[in-house]
Amino acid sequence: MMARTESRIQSSIEYDSDTGTYRATLDDDDPIATSLVLCLARIKNITPTQLPPLARTIDPDALEAIFADAQNATLSFSYAGFDVTIDSTVTLELRPHGEHAPPEWN
């Protein structure tokens, strides 16, 4: 399942060069926390294990619970040098702190 999730993440990340923001629409079948970590690792061109544990920033179970039945929710927090915003459509928006080069994988 992890390989399938990684493949979907890679194909769903978009970069807006005007705003310096990355966006991805997450699959409902994948845990939000897993998708977030895989997305950030892809953007930073590192392995997921090179990122700090997400649980030091936010409880992954609580993250899932917030969006399990939410119809109009938005959550923002900072993680691994990025401002992260997730909304109830399970759209992930990542804005790097400071300057960040466009992804090398474009």
Q: Is 64 helix (H, G, I), strand (E, B) or coil?
A: helix
At residue 98, the pLDDT reads: 74
Q: What is the pTM of this model?
A: 0.82
Q: Which helix (H) or strand (E) element contains residue 11?
A: helix 2-12
Domain borders along the chain are: 2-96
User: From first to last of its 106 residues, what are the pLDDT tens digits of the chain?
Assistant: 455 545 555 558 999 988 899 999 888 778 999 999 999 999 999 999 999 999 999 999 999 998 887 788 899 999 999 999 999 888 899 999 876 555 554 4
Q: Which residues pair with 92 in a beta bridge?
A: 24, 86
Q: By CB neighbour count within 10 A (0-12 exposed, 13-18 middle, 19+ buried), where does 92 fall?
A: buried
